[in-house]
Amino acid sequence: MELSPVTQQFVLHWGEMGTRWGVNRTVAQIHALLYMSENALTADEITETLGVARSNVSNSIKELISWRLVKVAHVMGDRRDHFETSKDVWELFKLIVAGRKQREIDPTLQIFEELLASPDFKKESRETRQRIEETQQFIEILTQWSDEMLRLEPETLMKVLKLGAKISNLIRREAKG
């Protein structure tokens, strides 16, 4: 499969950015490729298009599936698996955030709970206790809040985002009132 210059640029860049996001290049590239592709692709097509090892594609797809970013699709009369991803940016964003929360925030909240519950905790200085409590609260509230945002419909969200500055004022007013 030949990629158009624009698609190729996009895929390469996404791969690059992936590494900065803690995602390996191939995983990010595959996702970008599926995102740009009109139809679901087989692992072999992906392999050939990206010029990476077949096994690499296999593992990367596995990872993408575990993050729920990619789904298997079947084509009549073809026993091979075909892979596709959502074309809805908001949908994708939600999945990514959910995954990151699970991997990066939840373990931290877990630790905070343990710290607070530990018998050592009471022995700590007031400052230490306070700092820990504050931090935990902050993270907890923040995740709660993001959960709520993520629950919004794509259309609502886009409208919301486009409201822009108004939001801040709206919120500021409400927060004071």
Q: Give the up-direction half-sphere exposure of residue 74: CA atoms within 13 A in the CB hemisphere.
A: 4
> Judged by CB, which is closer to a second copy: 76, or 144?
144
Q: Applying CB under 7 A, which part among 74-82, 92-100, 108-116, 133-141 lies near DNA?
A: 74-82
- Classify residue 33 as exposed, middle or buried by CB count within 10 Å of its CB (0-12, 13-18, 19+): buried
Q: Which of 51, 55, 87, 99 binds a second copy (CB under 8 A)?
A: 87
Q: Which of 13, 62, 103, 151 binds DNA (CB under 7 A)?
A: 62
> Judged by CB, which is closer to DNA: 18, or 95?
18
| Calpha distance 74→63 (Å, rounded) | 19
Told to check if 48 binds DNA by CB under 7 A, we report: no
Told to check if 54 binds DNA by CB under 7 A, we report: yes
Query: Kind and range of the H or E element at 83?
Result: strand 82-85
Told to check if 34 binds DNA by CB under 7 A, we report: no
Sign of torsion over alpha carbons 144, 145, 146, 149: positive
Burial 159-171 (b: 16+ CB within 10 A, else e): eeeeeeeeeeeee
Residues lying near a second copy in the complex (CB under 8 A) are found at 4-7, 9-10, 13, 17, 20-22, 35-36, 38, 87, 89-90, 93, 103-104, 107-108, 111, 114-115, 118, 120-121, 123-125, 127-128, 131-132, 134-135, 138, 141-142, 144-145, 148-149, 151-152, 156, 158-168, 170-172, 174-176
